[in-house]
A and B are shown apart, each in its own frame.
Chain A
Amino acid sequence: MNRRTLFSRMAFSVGAALLGAAFALPLIWFVFAPFNAQADLDLAMPKPPTLTNFARVFANRAAVGALLNSLLQAFGTVLLVATTATLAAYALARTALRGKRVIEYVLLLFSSVVSGSAAMVPIFLIVNALGLIDTQVAVILVFTGGLLPTAMFILRDFIASIPRGYEESALVAGASPWRAFVDVVVPVLRPGVTIAAVWAFVQVWGGFLIPFVLLRSEQRMPASVEIYSFYSQAGTPIVPLLAAYSVLYSLPVIALYWYVNRKYGFRFFGGIKS
């Protein structure tokens, strides 16, 4: 290696490191603060490192309840999304329904158009009309509706990649269409369902706007909203608790992403995150 390429190699490495550091900087504080009982907004080594903050979070019933609410809402949505999306995606992939293409097209359009705070106006009114304001069911249903189109498309692609011969050989072997679906399609589809389910889970887990708009009472709030209870009356954060709670609240998401990314790679990230 001559001197010039050596120099450019070094410049490259330094540049890459700086870029990485720029991305890491806003999060570095989270490495120390949760373990520091006197944590403040500055970057400081905890002396000594302690788990006190976590203990205090767990002692806070509202905070723990909020995490449980998040779990309930996320699992409820995942269950509903996974089952209904699998069925619908199977129909989209395997029937000769007339107008199937049109349905797909319209769904794709709606799912990308009806999003964000603009959509919350009519959704709030609908939930209100159904008498479901301030219920967990409303949160689950609204999340499910919004996540379904994308989940269906993820799963449809998976189903389309399953050879038709699998179901056909089951039919010829004497199985009814439903039996072939349950015995053959569902097990083979498991990676697809896992990916769609993890994606849905993460969306609900982090989702802020929907519960924020649809829920009223504190005992139903998920962690994404309830985290604000760690602010004092004056609106200043109780820093040590917030830091610990943020870490606890982020762990499932990080773990799930890590798992799915390692197991399935980029496929997971296709057209995702809305």
Chain B
Amino acid sequence: MASIQLDKIGKSYGAIDTIREIDLAIGDGEFVCLLGPSGCGKTTTLRMIAGLEQPTRGGIRIGGRDVTHAQPKDRNIGMVFQDYALYPHMTIADNIAYPLKVRGVAADARRAQAREVADVLHIADLLDRLPAQISGGQQQRTSLARALVHPADAFLFDEPLSNLDARMRVEARAFLYHLQRSRGMTAVYVTHDQAEAMALSTRIAVMCAGDIVQYAPPLEIYRRPATTFVAGFVGDPPMNLIAAQATRTQAGIALRAGGLEMAPIASWPALDLALERGDRITVGVRPEHLRIAAGDGNRLRGKLFANEAMGPESLVTLCLDDGVRITARVFGDAPVRIDGDAVFAFDAARVTLFDAQGNRIDGQN
């Protein structure tokens, strides 16, 4: 296994920058997810690590070796593709053993190694079949086996679970977790599914429009999202974001928005600084930090929009005066009794504030 360094990597098609400038250090044995919406450049970044795409600028090192201009075959990596890319004319065994074949391993040894990996992935009984004759989940594991059959320096995954149905995906995810942690593989994993990123990563790089906006361990990303983009992307349902107007009063900073009732808060240096740049402040609250409660304190007031009982929890959505929708997560399987006008309460300490540019205002919690 090896570490991976991206050093000021950029990629342009003509005048369009797909990747602006990325620095990324991935340690030996880490599992790093590139997380972002489609078109954010995460797949391009992965393909540049694989050597399937040439960076326009910057350098790439794998295990300290400069591979920026090396061919894919000279990078010693394993890769799993979104559509698995299993060769329809080869048996499962031949598919798995292909990386060994091109390296000149003898047929017997190839067969033995393929069987070994297939055993680990529970597809040993499929070795003589063709890809068209096995299920999607089995195809996924075959492509995983093909990546694993040869001891690579790093493993690259391009949305490998996105073609599976929901139940299979959760199963395969746990399997992948176990495999990577037990073998200490260095893995780079592209996904747009924040749950996958949360579950699998040692660190997540959240990408947006060709930039990495935050690179941190999953819980750090969840608790302290760097921008409103990250806050709105991570978490299901994501963080509630309410655009508010900030004014200084004698009691402190007052935040006003339609449906938002919040006691003035005592300012701190970072907030003061943010207010100098603009008085538009975004108030962020995670759904699980909203309670359905009457009474005083910090509240959000609106009309009931949806009340979805999910089993272990209920998702209750209100529509605020200006059309913004706010969701609260209420744990427990008891039905939530709520009607017409409703109120959510929250603690000021649970609030994350973002400045006018959408960057998190540091320091309070």
Contact = CB atoms under 8 A, between A and B. Distances in A.
A184 interface: yes
Contact of B99 (A163, A173, A184, A188): A173
Contact of B78 (A172, A179, A187): A172
A183 B87 CA distance: 9
Contacts of B75: 172
Interface of B: 50-52, 71-73, 75-79, 81-85, 87-89, 98-99, 102-103, 143, 146, 150, 156
Contacts of A179: 102
Contacts of A175: 73, 98, 102
Interface in A85-104: none
Nearest to A172: B79
Contact of B89 (A163, A165, A171, A187): A187
Given A163-B83, A165-B83, A171 B88 contact: no
A168 B98 contact: no
Nearest to B85: A165
Closest 9 CB pairs of A and B: A165-B85, A173-B99, A171-B72, A169-B85, A172-B79, A187-B89, A165-B81, A175-B102, A174-B73
Interface of A: 163, 165-166, 168-176, 179, 183-184, 187-188, 190
A184 B81 CA distance: 16
B87 A168 contact: no
A174 B103 contact: yes
A187 B78 CA distance: 23
Given A174-B150, A176-B71, A169 B79 contact: yes
B73 A188 contact: no
Contacts of B73: 171-176
Contacts of A173: 73, 78, 98-99, 102, 146, 150
Contact of A188 (B83, B88, B102): B88
B351 to A, nearest CB: 45
A171 B143 CA distance: 14
Chain B CB count within 10 A is highest, among A165, A187, A188, for A165
Chain A CB count within 10 A is highest, among B72, B84, B88, B156, for B72
A187 B91 CA distance: 13
A174 B146 CA distance: 12
A174 B88 CA distance: 19
A183 B81 CA distance: 18
B136 to A, nearest CB: 15
Given A172-B79, A184-B87, 19 more contacts: A165-B81, A165-B82, A166-B85, A168-B72, A170-B102, A171-B51, A171-B72, A172-B51, A172-B75, A173-B78, A174-B76, A174-B99, A175-B73, A175-B98, A175-B102, A183-B87, A187-B87, A187-B89, A188-B88
